[in-house]
Amino acid sequence: VAGEAVPSSQKSSWASFLKSIASFSGDLSSLTAPPFILSPISLTEFPAYWCERPGLFAAIADAKTEQDRSIAVLKWFISTLKGQYTSRNEKLGSEKKPLNPVLGELFYGHWPDQDGRGQTNLVVEQVSHHPPITAYYICNPTKGLALQGHSAQKTSFSSGSIVVKQIGHAILTVDLDDGNTEQFLITLPRLRIDGLWYGSPYIELTETSYIQSSSGWLSSIEYKGKGYFSGRSHSYKALLTPPGSSNPAKKYEGLWHEVSKDLDTDEVFTDVTSPKEEVTVGPVDVMHDFESRKLWKHVARGIREGDYEAASREKSKIENEQRQRRRDEQTAGTPWQQWHFEHVESDPVYERLVKLFNGAPPTEDTYVYQHNHSATPSIKP
């Protein structure tokens, strides 16, 4: 039934929201949505999804050969998808509209060491507001692993669904025992947001994403929903090919939010049915004003408690303060300085990796982490 999951008082506002997205393409974050679909969580928290199975991340460093590292990276990557793309349905009842981060918004966290896997650290910064772009750096220094990436989206509307093209990529750097490094370019899948008509949106992944190793090994991951190879939602099939060959050495298939198998041995490849580890974040009262959970504290409380008037009042305060900041910067001729990342137009590492396959644009800009997190930012004028 149309609008089944929409509270009756918000049905007309949901209908007009759907109408506005149907005739819209670009940045969804700026559209006003009815309260029932608002999430109290900012997009700057999303990069934490990359590491909610820190043991699988650490295991990449323990693999001994180029092929085994590519397998470990693929296994870790597939195991992040459930958190990345279905966790709001579990936690909040459906996919929801996240808080739209302000310029310079920060999110810090870590996953503690356990059984010698090393501590994993996370630094996230909103590096652009219009369009929204989020940069992140995740590292496990004990294991010599670092993931640097940025994330933006281009949205359009097609036969009742929102189609989200992910812009940006991630590069994983692995320090090898012999002093060399290996890099992996990770491209991001296309999303379709279905279930809008009923008011209970959920994500399905589509098309193909890639993980290209500097060693030459390539994983191609094909995503399908209901009615395709397994006939089930959230299906994928991955092929791992050796350097310079299109003959797969490994094939995997299954459900990325449950279990998948090695097609040759029938052994389990990924199993994400066990609980994940959420990121550890410090207490809100000692946070910097730009840290997400402090910045959005009152808005988030309003959304959680159903006090939408308070939420929208607090949101306007933040937006007005941001507008004033931008005006002041204009007047003073001093543009906003990023805290942790430097924007570069092209990245030689990306360009070298992308040449090894043809599934991504030849050049892309990058946000380079400045390794200055311990230099905790002081409040800017």
- Examine residue 29 and tell whether it contacts ligand CLR (CB under 6 A): yes
- Examine residue 37 and tell whether it contacts ligand CLR (CB under 6 A): yes
Nearer to ligand CLR, 71 or 164 (CB): 164
Tell me the two tokens of residue 6: 């929409």
Nearer to ligand CLR, 28 or 172 (CB): 28
- Examine residue 148 and tell whether it contacts ligand CLR (CB under 6 A): no
Number of residues that bind ligand CLR (CB under 6 A): 18
- Examine residue 49 and tell whether it contacts ligand CLR (CB under 6 A): yes
Nearer to ligand CLR, 33 or 71 (CB): 33
- Examine residue 46 and tell whether it contacts ligand CLR (CB under 6 A): yes
Residues numbered 82 to 111 that lie near ligand CLR (CB under 6 A) are 84-85, 95-98
- Examine residue 192 and tell whether it contacts ligand CLR (CB under 6 A): no
- Examine residue 354 and tell whether it contacts ligand CLR (CB under 6 A): no
**Per-residue x/- track, 277-316, ligand CLR (CB under 6 A):** ----------------------------------------
List beta partners, residue 108.
123
- Examine residue 219 and tell whether it contacts ligand CLR (CB under 6 A): no
- Nearest residue to 367 via CA among 52, 138, 195, 137: 137
Alpha carbons 97 and 269: distance in angstroms, whole number: 32
Amino acid (1-letter code) at residue 192: R
Alpha carbons 375 and 236: distance in angstroms, whole number: 42
Residue range at the interface with ligand CLR (CB under 6 A); choices 26-34, 54-62, 67-75, 219-227: 26-34
SS3 percent helix, strand, coil of the chain, rounded to 5, is: 30, 30, 40
Nearer to ligand CLR, 84 or 212 (CB): 84
Q: Please report how close the Cβ of residue 239 comes to ligand CLR at its closest, in angstroms.
A: 23
Q: Degrees (nearest 5) of the Cα angle 341, 347, 351?
A: 150
> Which of 153, 161, 187, 214 is in the footprint of ligand CLR by CB under 6 A?
153
- Examine residue 38 and tell whether it contacts ligand CLR (CB under 6 A): no
Tokens 């892309």 belong to which residue? 364
Nearer to ligand CLR, 46 or 217 (CB): 46
Residue 256 makes CB contacts below 8 A (sequence gap 6+) with 78, 81, 82, 205, 223, 234, 235, 236, 270, 272
- Examine residue 81 and tell whether it contacts ligand CLR (CB under 6 A): no
Contact 1, 197 (CB under 8 A): no
Neighbours of 230 (CB within 10 A): 16
- Examine residue 24 and tell whether it contacts ligand CLR (CB under 6 A): no
Nearer to ligand CLR, 105 or 217 (CB): 105
Phi-psi category of residue 138: left, alpha or beta, with phi > 0 → left and psi -120 to 50 → alpha: beta
Helix (H, G, I), strand (E, B) or coil at 61: helix
List beta partners, residue 261.
253, 268
- Examine residue 13 and tell whether it contacts ligand CLR (CB under 6 A): no
Alpha carbons 266 and 260: distance in angstroms, whole number: 9
Q: Please report how close the Cβ of residue 39 comes to ligand CLR at its closest, in angstroms.
A: 8
Q: Please report how close the Cβ of residue 267 comes to ligand CLR at its closest, in angstroms.
A: 28
Q: Decide the pairing of beta strands 202-213 and 190-194.
A: antiparallel
Alpha carbons 105 and 128: distance in angstroms, whole number: 10
Judged by the rule CB under 6 A, the positions of this chain that interact with ligand CLR are 28-29, 33, 37, 46, 49, 84-85, 95-98, 151, 153, 164, 166, 193, 201
